[in-house]
């Protein structure tokens, strides 16, 4: 029996040793990573509109059924054009709110007359799917006041953003939480 | 109205020309109006802040509670029912409510990236989810798998008719998880993406959406999981590997019997995950050990060669693996475009060319990434070879086991075997849930090691 007990003790001793070493290792790993976080802030995913090529993958590749990416409108950059190239199809039948004239596939842009010749455009967010058609139209012929942003009330902050994985322009990056949105304005990068 | 439209169309044509000439996106072409007539106020840009950090801490809190609870239920209370309900909670909370993200399995990738990429900040939740269950496993075994992991709990619930898998297949398939772990760390450490998350079969179920490949693998895993116990946990889960390694040194662990094993063999077939090691007390014929010893010696000699081969092969596969990295992929594409091997551009190559950066910069960057992959591939190859060598050596060794016991590496602490143990029924004073007749309960005395010593050791019949 003596042999049996010593064997068990030896095994226990080894297990204790390995466990202790593993715990120290885990502690060092965790401690090191926590220390590296000390200076930094937690991050969220965001699109850099200055890199975005409006490829349309934001609408299709988000893990959410309806993408967390939506179009936002920097009103102070908007020219309030009557012929808004973000709102109208190329060569529209008429410059009115008829569905056949609209570029947006879901009719998510509201057009409102303000004063001659200015019209205001507003994104109806629940309808927007983040397809970037209007963004492209606005960027190509207009001021670039329409742009895509990840809306954080929708984004589930995945470990690895599935849109970032397919983004051809590498435009989706982790940004500090305190600067969760890129605000475009007249002064340029803001 | 006509004239206004005409003016804007002219602007449009002008803009097209501008675009063709400079290809400039989003410049201030039309000055924003002043609104002198109506004094219209600009709408403000609403930006809703991200989900509060408090919720992250709440996730960590829930994890700690569920982990402690399933540890207590598995080791102390020995309650299968309790574990099933804990598992259902985990499926609902971590699975369907949190949409399978954050999860401990994926968190090892964050940690790997955090270690190798100094610019990456590991989220607090990922850190806790990745490390705390391993620390628990060092003391209590894989109790995380029992009730806290939504993936495991989902497969556990769906297991209807477990079939037995032959031992050779079991050992072989379990190697896949080690390979998966190696690859996942390689890709995470080199910035090539999180493959565990990309190919997770249960995420599309928790999210009720996903691409075709994910949905198909999810359905396959669920269907197979009805007959083969926890196929993902056993054969693929990279985190299970780490927990198993921690669990094999655990201080407390799942014991099938609450006190003494009578070797009644009732638990022998109870584990749907092939995690019970049979008792083997048979005396080994010492005169006939020659071939076994020789085999072990050969394997020990072979092991370093195997590892060297693994490192060599790993370095070569590293180059192939590098093509999964977006930068390398892009550099290769642009290289082909330049040399005329392919015609036209992709979205990615067009976007890079649009930035006007020199191509050499991209090629240099991609070359660096590829070197990292070769290095990481060598490590992974060495690791995989080490695991294979270790498996061969361990299979060549014999170990005397006095009792039927749960394998510390494989056991996921599901608590099924407890109910097969007659000693457990004695402890609970019930027979399959029905209170034990008083006379029986009084009579039944658990055998002590002293009384057991008088019994002949039973050699299991019809087993290997």
**pLDDT digits over B305-315, tens only?**
999 999 999 99
Q: Quick check: A45 pLDDT over 60?
A: yes
Is A117's CB within 8 Å of B50's CB? no
Please tell me the predicted confidence (pLDDT) of residue B134.
Answer: 96
- Mean pLDDT calculated for residue range B333-347: 92
- Report phi then psi at B359, rounded to 5: -70, -30
pLDDT tens per residue across span B83-121: 999 999 999 999 999 888 889 999 999 999 999 988 888
DSSP 8-state symbol, A118: E
8 Å CB contact of B118 and A36: yes
Residues B124 and B58: their CA atoms lie apart, in Å, by: 12
Are B37 and A65 inside 8 Å of each other by CB?
no
Nearest to B32 among A55, A80, A140 (CB): A80
The reply to whether residue A15 touches residue B249, judged by beta carbons under 8 angstroms, is: yes
What does the pLDDT read at residue A2?
A: 44
pLDDT band for position B39 (cuts 50, 70, 90):
confident
Identify from A159, A172, A173, A182 which residue to disrupt to test chain B contact, counting B C-beta atoms within 10 A and taking the largest count: A159
Q: How distant is the Cα of B205 from the closest Cα of chain A, in angstroms?
A: 12
To the nearest whole angstrom, how far is the Cα of A180 from the nearest Cα of chain B? Answer: 7
Q: For residue B265, give both structure tokens.
A: 């063999």
Listed in sequence order, the residues at least 6 apart from A107 whose beta carbon sits closer than 8 Å to its beta carbon are A99, A124, A127
Chain B residues close to A63, C-beta within 8 Å = 99, 203, 207, 209-210
- B444–chain A nearest CA distance, Å: 27
d(CA B210, CA B202): 10
| Integer-rounded Cα radius of gyration of chain A | 26
> Measured between alpha carbons, how far is B124 from B111 in angstroms, rounded to an integer?
10
B323 has pLDDT over 80: yes
Distance CA B416, CA A155 (A): 39
State residue A116's pLDDT score.
Answer: 84
β-strand partners of B405: B277
Cβ <8 Å between A85 and B12: yes
Asked whether the predicted pLDDT for residue B373 surpasses 60, the reply is yes
Which token pair is B269? 């077939």
According to the 3-state scheme, what is the secondary structure of chain A? CHHHHHHHHHHHHHHHHHHHHHHHHHHHHHHHHHHHHHCCCCEEEEECCCCCCCCCHHHHHCCCCCCCEEEEECHHHCCCCCCCCCCECCCCCCCCCCHHHECCCCCCEEEEEEECCEEEEEECHHHCCCCCHHHHHHHHHCCCCEEEEECCCCCCCCCCCHHHHHCCCCCEEEEEHHHCCCCCECCECC
In this structure, are strands B430-431 and B405-406 parallel, antiparallel, or unpaired? unpaired
- Model confidence at B457: pLDDT above 80: no
Using DSSP's 3-state secondary structure scheme, residue B239 falls into: helix
Instruction: List the single residue in B with minimal CA-CA distance to A17.
Output: B249
**Strand, coil or helix: A123:** strand
pLDDT at B461: 47
User: Which one-letter DSSP state was computed for residue B39?
Assistant: -
Q: Quick one: residue A121, left, alpha or beta (phi over 0 = left, psi -120 to 50 = alpha)?
A: beta
What mean pLDDT comes out for the span B348-375?
93
Strand partners for A176: A43
B222-280 per-position pLDDT tens digit: 999 999 999 999 999 999 999 999 999 999 999 999 988 888 889 988 999 999 998 88
Record: contact A37-B124, CB cut-off 8 A: yes
| Contact (CB<8Å) B251/A15 | yes
Looking at mean pLDDT, say which of A39-53, B143-157, B196-210 comes out highest: B143-157
CA terminus-to-terminus distance, chain A: 78
With CB atoms and an 8 Å threshold, state whether B246 touches A22: yes
pTM assigned to the model = 0.86
Average pLDDT (B134-143) is 95
The number of residues making up chain B comes to: 464
If we measure between CA atoms, which residue out of B92, B257, B127, B343 comes closest to residue A38?
B127
Residues 6+ apart with CB under 8 A from B338: B359
Provide the percentage of residues in chain B whose pLDDT is more than 70.
88
And the tokens for B299? Answer: 């394997």
**Banded pLDDT at A189 (limits 50, 70, 90):** very low
Residue in A16, A149, A186 nearest the CB of B28? A186
ipTM: 0.84
Q: What is the mean pLDDT of chain B?
A: 86
pLDDT above 70: percentage of residues in chain A: 93
- Round to whole Å and give the CA distance between B9 and B416: 75
Alpha carbon distance B291, B285 (integer Å) = 12
User: How far from B287 is each of A82, B185, B280, B329, CA to CA, in Å?
Assistant: 99, 46, 19, 61
Q: Which SS3 state, helix, strand or coil, does residue B57 take?
A: helix
**What is the b/e burial string over A72-93, where b = at least 16 CB atoms within 10 angstroms of the residue's CB?**
bbbbbbbbbbbbbbbbbeeebe
| C-alpha–C-alpha distance, residues B447 and B260, integer Å | 7
* Residue A159 CB neighbours (<10 A): 20
**Alpha helix (H) residue ranges in A39-81:** 57-61
- Tokens for B359? 């191509």
Residues of A in contact with B193 (CB under 8 A): 160, 165
Q: Which residues are A102's β-sheet partners?
A: A88
Burial class (CB in 10 A: 0-12, 13-18, 19+), A109: buried
Token representation of residue A63: 């893990």
Mind telling me how many Å the CA of B235 is from chain A's nearest CA?
A: 23
**Is residue B21 scored above 70 in pLDDT?**
no
In DSSP terms, which residues pair with B441 in a beta bridge? none
Looking at per-residue confidence, does A17 or A37 come out higher? A17
DSSP A91: S
Measured CA distances, B122 to A29, A42, A79, B105 (Å): 12, 8, 42, 15
Q: Which two tokens stand for residue B139?
A: 């003391």
Determine the Cα–Cα distance for residues A21 and A15; give it in Å rounded to an integer.
10
pLDDT in the model for residue B230:
95
Tokens of A133: 């058609």
Residues of B in contact with A56 (CB under 8 A): none
pLDDT given for residue B451 in this prediction: 52
Mean pLDDT across A119-129? 93
Instruction: Report d(CA A152, CA A31) in Å as an integer.
Output: 29
Contact assignment for A42 to B115 by CB distance below 8 Å:
no
């Amino acid at each position: 029996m003596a042999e049996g007990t010593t064997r068990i003790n030896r095994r226990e001793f080894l297990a204790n040793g390995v466990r202790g070493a593993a715990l120290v290792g885990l502690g060092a790993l965790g401690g090191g990573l926590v220390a590296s976080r000390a200076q930094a802030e937690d991050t969220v995913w965001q699109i850099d509109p200055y890199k975005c090529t409006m490829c349309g993958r934001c609408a299709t590749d988000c893990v959410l059924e309806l993408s967390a990416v939506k179009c936002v409108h920097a009103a102070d950059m908007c020219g309030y054009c009557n012929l808004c190239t973000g709102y109208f199809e190329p060569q529209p039948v008429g410059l009115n709110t008829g569905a056949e004239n609209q570029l947006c596939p879901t009719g998510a842009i509201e057009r409102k007359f303000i004063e001659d010749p200015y019209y205001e455009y507003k994104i109806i967010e629940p309808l927007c799917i983040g397809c970037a058609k209007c963004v492209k139209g606005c960027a190509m012929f207009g001021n670039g006041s329409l742009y895509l942003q990840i809306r954080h009330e929708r984004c589930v902050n995945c470990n690895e953003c599935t849109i970032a994985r397919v983004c051809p322009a590498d435009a989706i990056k982790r940004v500090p939480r305190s600067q969760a949105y890129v605000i475009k304005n007249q002064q340029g990068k803001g | 109205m006509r004239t206004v439209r005409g003016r804007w169309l002219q602007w449009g044509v002008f803009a097209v020309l501008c675009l063709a000439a400079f290809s400039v996106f989003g410049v201030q072409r039309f000055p924003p109006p002043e609104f002198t007539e109506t004094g219209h106020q600009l709408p403000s840009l609403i930006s809703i802040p991200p989900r509060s950090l408090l919720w992250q801490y709440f996730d960590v809190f829930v994890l700690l509670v569920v982990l402690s609870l399933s540890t207590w239920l598995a080791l102390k209370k020995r309650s299968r029912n309790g574990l099933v309900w804990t598992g259902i909670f985990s499926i609902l909370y971590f699975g369907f409510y949190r949409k399978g993200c954050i999860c401990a399995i994926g968190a090892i990738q964050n940690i790997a990236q955090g270690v190798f990429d100094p610019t990456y900040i590991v989220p607090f939740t990922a850190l806790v989810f990745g490390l705390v269950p391993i620390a628990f496993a060092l003391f209590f075994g894989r109790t995380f798998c029992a009730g806290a992991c939504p993936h495991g709990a989902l497969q556990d619930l769906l297991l209807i008719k477990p079939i037995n898998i032959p031992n050779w297949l079991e050992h072989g398939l379990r190697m896949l998880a080690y390979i998966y772990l190696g690859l996942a760390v390689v890709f995470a450490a080199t910035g090539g993406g999180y493959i565990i998350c990309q190919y997770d079969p249960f995420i599309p179920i928790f999210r009720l959406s996903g691409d075709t490949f994910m949905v198909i693998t999810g359905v396959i895993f669920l269907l197979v999981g009805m007959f083969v116990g926890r196929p993902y946990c056993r054969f693929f889960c990279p985190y299970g590997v780490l927990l198993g390694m921690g669990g094999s040194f655990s201080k407390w662990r799942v014991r099938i019997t609450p006190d003494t094993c009578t070797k009644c063999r009732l638990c022998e077939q109870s584990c749907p995950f092939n995690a019970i090691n049979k008792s083997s007390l048979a005396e080994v014929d010492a005169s006939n050990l020659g071939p076994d010893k020789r085999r072990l010696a050969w394997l020990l000699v072979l092991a370093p060669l195997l590892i060297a081969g693994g490192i060599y092969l790993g370095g070569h596969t590293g180059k192939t693996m590098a093509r999964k990295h977006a930068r390398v992929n892009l550099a290769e594409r642009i290289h082909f475009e330049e040399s005329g091997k392919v015609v036209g551009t992709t979205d990615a190559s067009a976007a890079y060319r649009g930035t006007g950066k020199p191509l050499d910069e991209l090629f240099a960057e991609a070359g660096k990434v590829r070197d990292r992959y070769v290095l990481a591939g060598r490590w992974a190859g060495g690791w995989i070879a080490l695991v294979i060598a270790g498996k061969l050596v361990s299979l060549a060794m014999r170990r005397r086991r006095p009792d039927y016991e749960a394998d510390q590496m494989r056991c996921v602490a599901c608590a099924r075997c407890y109910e097969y143990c007659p000693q457990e029924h004695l402890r609970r004073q019930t027979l399959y849930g029905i209170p034990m007749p008083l006379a029986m309960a009084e009579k039944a005395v658990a055998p002590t090691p002293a009384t057991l010593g008088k019994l002949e050791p039973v050699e299991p019949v019809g087993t290997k």
